[in-house]
Chain A
Amino acid sequence: MGSWMKMIKELTIRPKGKRQIRKSPAYSFDEDLKKPLSGQTVKEILSKSSDVVFREFFLQGKDRIPCMLVAVDGLVDKNLLDEFILKPLMVDFAGHPELAQMTLSNVIDKTMESLLPGIEIKKISKMGDAIDTILSGDSVIFFGNLTEAIVIGARGWAHRGVAEPITESIVKGPREGFSETLRINTSLLRRKIKHPSLRIISLKLGDMTNTDLVVTYIEKIASPDIVSEVFKRLSKIKMDAMLGNGYIEEMIEDNPYSPFPQISFTERPDVLAGKLLEGKVGIIVDGTPIVLVVPAILTQFLNVNEDYYQRAMVAILSRFVRYVGAFVAIVAPSVYIAVTTFHQEIIPTDLFMSISAGRQGVPFPALLEAFTMTVVLEILQEAGLRLPKPIGQTIGIVGALIIGDAAVTAGLVSPLMVIIIGLTAVASYAIPTFDLSLAVRLIRFPLMILAGVLGFFGVTVGLYVILIHLLGLRSFGVPYTSPIAPLRIRALLQDTFVRAPWWALKRRPQLMDVEDPRPNGKG
């Protein structure tokens, strides 16, 4: 009930910068960051962590310059550092004419100019940068007590390879999926779109975690309004920790009280590329293989990328099945309740007899029966979700035998009810997006109660409330129900309920139209 009421609450809320998570008062790291950069301070700050390595050595130039290389063990490629950084500086170039002229004042420029091979090398002069880069996996060399240092990009850590995504498995299409490493992910994307207008813009979020993230879009296709809105909302996020995309999702979505997902996710580079080409914006967060895509519209949660790989006819059929499935998953139990307790006249006589016979001796009213069974279904789903695979199968057997067969034989539920619940479950599995199927599961319960109390009147009122809610919803200024209302006939016919064959798509489907992000609340 709670979610439903919240849904009724504010419809088109925008982040007003007030959504910040309060910082803990004991946190005084900021003070340290204001100090001038020096190797000694860095050592003071970081020396309590056993994984940070401080390698001190001398550079034998004109002066004997004390140097210190700081790196996090495990985040750097040790071979690279040994072979191409430390060995040249300490051994190979010993007696080199350039080295011979080196003094503390020109050491940084000289070293960068002629002693250090490697692409990713730059100079820094701020404390914060130094700490950030070290903890992100770069190595920093400090020279004496200079307030500048050299950053060497020699990252290298254990990571998962490119594997087939689990959540979005398809039959016909590419098999690669994103992994946890940001760079790999951007490279996967770049391989799909080899065009200079693909923008990949880096940001950092999370005061503690300093998580890297990348906003990506295609210049000229993506609407500038949406892009700037994305940056605006991201910049408003103020939080200590950023451990996954879910954090961002909740912080930037338009209406946090809605059960419907307003941001879509994908684990597949091909899907991301496709959506960017439609004019959307992707947010890739380091550490999660799942990419956020905004703005999202309702119908796209029911479409999957396989639709584009299959032939148009097949795709249309499977889309149709999915839409029907979603509808059934929402209304099936409530319609059953409404029909059997209020509108028996709609049932043909023969069916009436068999329903009536089936319910003989069932101790619960239809509402309670349906409610209990749906709850049981939810429990089964939740239980099966996180169990290790071998035990997971047991759930299926227990569910099927005990809930299905035994309950009917014992006369606790009517056979038709089991069929309805089974149908609901199967139908909700036809919804391809997990987030949407969660929303469907959520709205099923209030609908059932309404059906049990007010019959079809209740169901229709409930459905209209949901409809009005959906119509008022926006994702980054784009109406959530976009090609349907406001009506875009071309998009509706080409890529909503049906997918037109590729040869018929002469222009890019105009799925969204951007409106003034301010909701017109007049009236």
Chain B
Amino acid sequence: MGTTFLPVASIVTGVGGRDGWMSVLPGFAVGIPYCLMILSLSEQYPRKNLLQISAAVFGKWIGNFIGLIYILIVAYLGGLLLGQVGDIYQASIMPLTPLWVFFLGGIFLVLFLIKSGIEVFARFSEVVFPLIVFALLLNVGLSIPRIEQGELLPILSEGFKPLFLGAIKVIPFVMTYMLFLAGVIAFLPTGKQELSQLKKGVWRIIFLVGILDALVVLIQLLVFGPAETIRLVYGLLVLGKLVEVSRTVAGVESLFLGVWLSAAIIKIGSLFFSVIWGLESVFGLKGVKWRHAIAVVFLGISFRFIRGPALITEIGLVDEYLTMPFVALWIPILWGVSRWKRGAGN
């Protein structure tokens, strides 16, 4: 949820140009039907995650095949994101520290969080989320004096097509959340009242994150102009560098990175959980040994991508050509088939 803030501006502006900021929210809204589908599936099959539901609906073999793809995507993405932690820190504030320090630090935090259980994980997100929002708003607010004149105009000069393209670029981010939601669903309460509360929560979170992301893109467009926004790899950090609070603090990017780290930990952690659940429901693998094996896999993947540009391209590719098609097809089909089966059964 939090890691999108850094790349989103560059990606969206790359295709949407000056109007890219408007496509963020519609892109996020695509997530809502998916969430509702997942929730309705969990209503039907309480206390099961989506992989187990797939196995139940499609039969064991197809279910396991889906589970395998799921595990591969999730593990690969998790490793790549761990690599991103190193890349961001090294490129922006600590150029001389070796990458593996960040990898180890990151995986250590993730392991510690995983070990403390899903409940602590949820609470951690709960505590950290306001921090992220606050840091973002602070960053955005303090950048206001650096806004250039009229960078947002003209609005919609290229028609609606860029908006559409931009929204498509946003969807992979949303789909990554779905991957986690697919696993965590087994732990969510299934009562009628809780379910409606969850639905409300889904709307709220998606809109909140969407609006924040849009705001982040907007401020970068305002300050840098579209050409620069596309060019800057981590524009928000550059924004942090521009900030000056009169004469007391000259740049907040290292503080912002601290908060960002927590977001990255949450995301990697959630992918980690997904791998654990995946292994559990497909292969029945359980226990601490496997957890450490996953950690090693994550580390291995991140060590494979120590070249920053290659890493960022790879994340983009995985998001766009693996995560998005997979989730976009899997969940509706699963939902549709389970509906149809229920209809046929009655």
The residues of A with any CB-CB pair to B shorter than 8 Å are 8, 11, 342-343, 345-351, 454-461, 463-465, 467-468, 471-472, 479, 481, 484-487, 519-523
Contact = CB atoms under 8 A, between A and B. Distances in A.
Q: Which of A467, A481, A484, A487 has the most CB of B within 10 A?
A: A467
A468 B89 CA distance: 22
Given A346-B250, A346-B254, A348-B249, A468 B124 contact: yes
B93 A523 contact: no
B208 to A, nearest CB: 15
The binding surface of chain B is classed by DSSP as: helix
A343 B116 contact: no
B119 A520 contact: yes
A349 B276 contact: no
B101 interface: yes
B301 interface: no
Nearest to B121: A523
B273 interface: yes
Interface of B: 89, 93-94, 97, 101-102, 105, 108-109, 112-121, 123-124, 126-128, 187, 241, 244, 247-252, 254-255, 257-258, 261-262, 265, 273, 276
Q: Which of A347, A350, A460, A486 has the most CB of B within 10 A?
A: A460
A457 B117 contact: no
Given A485-B127, A521-B117, A523-B118, A468 B112 contact: yes
Given A346-B251, A464-B262, A454 B117 contact: no
| Complex A-B, nearest 10 residue pairs according to Cβ-Cβ distance, in ascending order | A460-B258, A485-B123, A472-B116, A471-B123, A472-B120, A348-B250, A485-B126, A456-B254, A343-B254, A471-B120
Given A342-B94, A472-B116, A485-B127, A457 B250 contact: no
Given A467-B124, A484-B127, A485-B123, A460 B261 contact: yes
A486 B109 contact: no
Nearest to A461: B105
A522 B117 CA distance: 6
A471 B261 contact: no
B127 A481 contact: yes
B261 A457 contact: yes
Given A457-B94, A522-B118, A465 B258 contact: no
A457 B97 contact: yes
Contacts of B127: 467, 471, 481, 484-485
Contacts of A463: 258
A488 B112 CA distance: 25
Contacts of B105: 454, 457-458, 461
23 contacts: A345-B251, A345-B254, A454-B94, A454-B101, A455-B93, A455-B97, A456-B93, A457-B94, A457-B97, A460-B258, A460-B261, A460-B262, A461-B105, A461-B108, A468-B112, A471-B123, A485-B123, A486-B126, A521-B117, A522-B117, A522-B118, A522-B187, A523-B114
A346 B94 CA distance: 13
Nearest to A347: B250
Contact of B117 (A8, A350, A481, A519): A519
B118 A465 contact: no
B316 to A, nearest CB: 25
Contacts of A519: 117, 119
Nearest to A335: B255
A464 B250 contact: no
Nearest to B260: A460
A392 B249 CA distance: 40
A135 to B, nearest CB: 47
Given A454-B105, A472-B117, 15 more contacts: A346-B252, A349-B250, A455-B94, A456-B254, A456-B258, A457-B257, A461-B105, A461-B261, A468-B112, A471-B116, A471-B124, A472-B120, A485-B123, A485-B126, A523-B273
A484 B124 CA distance: 10
B97 A464 contact: no
A471 B126 CA distance: 10
Q: Which of A345, A472, A519 has the most CB of B within 10 A?
A: A472
B104 to A, nearest CB: 10
A251 to B, nearest CB: 24
Given A457-B261, A520-B118, A479 B254 contact: no
Given A456-B257, A464-B261, A523-B273, A348 B118 contact: no
A479 B94 contact: no
B126 A461 contact: no
A438 to B, nearest CB: 23
Contacts of A461: 105, 108-109, 261
Given A346-B251, A464-B109, A523 B101 contact: no
Contacts of A472: 116-117, 120
A171 B249 CA distance: 38
A464 B265 contact: yes
Nearest to B104: A461
Nearest to B261: A460
Nearest to B128: A467
Contacts of B113: 468
A343 B250 CA distance: 11
Contacts of B121: 523
Contacts of A345: 93, 241, 250-251, 254
B248 A348 contact: yes
A523 B126 contact: no
A137 B236 CA distance: 73
A519 B120 CA distance: 10
Nearest to A458: B105
